Chain A
Amino acid sequence: MPEPLLEVKDLRVHFPTDDGVVKAVDGLSFTMAAGETLGIVGESGSGKSVSFLTVMGLINKKSAIIEGQVLFQGQDLVQMTNDELREIRGAKIAMIFQDPMTSLHPFYKVGDQIAEMILAHEDISKKEAFDRAIEMLRRVNIPQPEERARQFPHEFSGGMRQRAMIAMALSLNPDLLIADEPTTALDVTVQAQILDLIDRLQSEFNTAVALITHDLGVVAEHCHHIQVMYAGKIVEEGTADDIYYRPMMPYTWGLLRSLPRLGHDTDRLTPIAGAPPSLIFLPEGCSFSPRCPYVFDECRVVEPELLPIDGHHAARCHLSLEDRERIVAQEILATS
């Protein structure tokens, strides 16, 4: 088996605050193969963004306690100095963010911002870097890239800016692209274009993509593997088919049921009851137990392990496999 591209082992990212320690990421382990697309799904505050900001080394080490290992091509990013990390950032691991409206610097031309990143890693002339920026804008389907490169971000629409961000992220042909809610701030029609663009470029550049989202609908057709995060932990992981047709964890069920479906005559969406837990005072036992409709005594005392079901499919739940299969068949797939 080849060495995985990214291997996260028991990662913990804790932020000490005046009110207590915020356990944003609490024992996260997963691997990503080269060229793979991994979907990371969860609500706000489930730790999905923080864990990948940690991979990028963008979490301020002074304000956080980071434990565990993040092995990227065999090197532990957690132990690296800022200078070592800087050489990886942008060149080998690139990231695009949720809000393209605020992610580009308002005072600099788009082409210059892309060229700046190339120049930070390669010893070429400004002219060459700018030409490559234009070429990248062309590859993300921005019309008239020569003109567009000389414009400022405020002259771009939201979708165009996200394309420009993607052009920048891929300009050094990174091994891993982290897309942190890349479509959340965009119109639905633009969302699909951006996701298709990421798909296409992924195969062209053979880049692994970590697609972070709160929308199970987004990850379904774009990801090989999906992991569902809740309160800083993975609660279920598997292939897209596993998550959609054989979900084995009540939180995943809740996410699936909260999706709007075409052709169903429902006036309301079904939300997951309650609110995400405080990351300072996590519930005892299973952290989803206060919101789980199938909770029983053991859930409130013992934290469930992430146990394999078959193949890569694994979930954290105390319910017996038979019970879960029955619930999925009778309640989840039947209603959704």
Chain B
Amino acid sequence: MLRYIIRRVLWAILVLLIVVFITYMIFFLLPSGDPAVRLAGKNQTPQLLEQIRQQFGLNHPWYIQYLLFLKHAVLGDQYGWPGLGLSFVSKVPLKGIIFSRIAVTAQLAIGAAIVWLIVGISVGILSALRPHTLGDRSAMGLAVLAISMPVFFLGPLALYIFWFKLGWLPGTGYYALGQYGVGTWFSHWILPWVVLAVLYAAFYARLSRSNLMETMSEDYIRTARAKGLTEKRVVLKHGLRAGLTPLVTVFGLDLAALLGGAIITESIFNLPGIGQLTVQAVGGQDLNTIAVITLVAATFVVFANLIVDILYAFLDPRVRFD
């Protein structure tokens, strides 16, 4: 078991090294022209260009540049650890910005995840246990509808109905928990959470339904029934355990992808998260910020993969000895 975990961790580190290299390549090596000019953004001064050349070692060969880039990322730079450098457009160290943005995105992603897990999986289970009934068919029909509803449509629609027309919920914006209290904080999160969760909930409902239905037709479920267990125990202990375990993989990757920024949701609800930062950075030609966001998002995915792999070994005994 320990060997398995060590192997997974080493593998994750290797993947991260490759990710850093590819990111470096995309932002520094592949485009033609002076990287310093691209990184400087719109307001370029000779001093700024010189500062950038210093920061990234642009006067050295590419492998030194890469090692420097890697060193900053792993060991930190003059702005602290991890070394994320400076936004050369706003002249602010990126570390603080990224961390505060991640905090907002994490609230969005985790809140939405709780909503979609509860709604999606319970609908999926209920449908799987009563397949082809009216309830199952309507739930799955609704799921198709929900999967077909993009956030950029659903978001404004929800705002229009629940904020503008009915006035049941507050509008857009981020209201920090510490500053505004639980009520204001929570009420402002309801719409973003629900809107973001709709698509995922529908997807998870369909996924858990099909997984569970497949599991319930397995031979070992028939064995469980033949043992004289109650139907409740057959479903809860034997069915769900095997039927829902594959969802761990999907969930880990979905959550990680969202932590890298929910661009549309954050834009619609005016939430200062990673996604919104991405849009601003692209608009302001803030290349270093984009590179750092890329790295951060990729790191989330790699870590999520690692956690999922380790968790899976605990959940499915067959994985441990492979």
Chain A window 88-115, contacts with chain B (Cβ cutoff 8 Å), 1 for yes, 0 for no:
1111001101010011111100000000
Instruction: Give CA–CA (A64, B250) in the complex, Å.
Output: 37
- Contact among A120, A165, A168 for B229, CB-based, below 8 A: A120
Interface size on B, residues (CB 8 A): 22
Residue A86 CB within 8 A of the other chain: yes
Taking CB atoms, residues of chain B closer than 8 Å to A106 are: 220, 242, 316-318
B220 and A102 form a contact (CB under 8 A):
yes
B43 at the interface (CB under 8 A from A): no
CB nearest to A118 among chain B residues: B227
Q: Which of A38-89 contact B (CB under 8 A)?
A: 56, 58, 82, 86-89
The residue of chain B having its C-beta at the shortest distance from the C-beta of A104 within the complex is B220
Q: Tell whether, in the assembled complex, residue A117 and residue B227 are in contact, meaning their CB atoms are under 8 Å apart.
A: yes
Residue of A nearest to B218 (CB): A102
Bound together, the chains give a CA A103 to CA B225 distance in angstroms of 11
Interface assignment of A156: CB less than 8 Å from any CB of chain B: no
Most chain B CB neighbours (cut-off 10 Å) among A56, A87, A105, A168: A105
Residues of chain A lying within 8 A (CB to CB) of residue B42: none
Residues in A with CB closer than 8 Å to B214 are none
Inter-chain contact A90/B318, CB cutoff 8 Å = no
Q: In whole angstroms, how far apart are the Cα atoms of A99 and B219 in the complex?
A: 8
> How many of A's residues come within 8 Å of B, CB to CB?
27
Confirm or deny: B238 has a beta carbon within 8 angstroms of a beta carbon on chain A.
Answer: yes
A10 part of interface (Cβ distance < 8 Å): no
Which residues of B236-250 have CB atoms within 8 Å of chain A's CB atoms?
238, 241-242, 245
Kindly report which residue of chain B lies nearest to residue A106, judged by CB atoms: B318
Residue A324 is within 8 A (CB to CB) of chain B in the complex = no
Residues of chain B lying within 8 A (CB to CB) of residue A152: 317-318
Q: Which of B223, B231, B233 has the most CB of A within 10 A?
A: B223
A261 touches B (CB below 8 Å): no
Residue of B with least CB distance to A53:
B222
**Residues of chain B with a CB closer than 8 A to A168's CB:** 227
**Is A154 an interface position by the 8 A CB rule?**
yes
* A117→B228 contact, CB < 8 A: yes
A36 proximal to B (CB < 8 A): no
16 contacts between A and B (CB under 8 A): A58-B226, A86-B230, A87-B228, A89-B226, A91-B228, A97-B219, A97-B222, A103-B223, A104-B223, A106-B316, A107-B316, A116-B227, A117-B228, A120-B228, A152-B317, A154-B317
Using a CB–CB cutoff of 8 Å, the interface residues on chain B facing chain A are: 218-220, 222-231, 233, 238, 241-242, 245, 315-318
> Can you name 11 extra interface pairs (CB under 8 A) apart from A105-B224, A106-B316, A107-B241?
A58-B226, A90-B227, A99-B219, A103-B220, A103-B222, A105-B223, A106-B220, A106-B317, A120-B229, A120-B230, A168-B227
